[in-house]
Amino acid sequence: MKQQSKLNSQQQAEESARALSGHTQQTSAQEFATPEEMLRHDALHTPVPPTIAFRLQQSIGPLTPPPRSWWRRFFGPSNP
């Protein structure tokens, strides 16, 4: 009986060691050279909530493109 309980505690220790090693593999630290790289990485891996995406599309929708420069209007084609 004592041997069986010893085996169980050893198994538990092995399982917790496996769980800890698996956890550290999933959350590995990553270093960034610049803050911009960190922000790009975060933007790629962070989903935008649908309500915010919808509101952003609504606010951007009515914006008109900036006027063309005078030389593009003068020398360029009539359509932008």
| Residue 59: per-residue pLDDT | 87
DSSP state of 32: -
The whole-angstrom separation of Cα 27 and Cα 19 is 13
Please identify every stretch of the chain with a pLDDT value under 70, giving residue numbers as ranges. Answer: 1-27, 78-80
| Residue 67: per-residue pLDDT | 81
- What is 28-40 written as a DSSP string? -----SSHHHHHH
| Residue 24: per-residue pLDDT | 46
Structure tokens at 67: 């006027």
| Residue 40: per-residue pLDDT | 94
- Coil, strand or helix: which one is 3? helix
What's the pTM value of the predicted model, to 2 decimals? 0.35
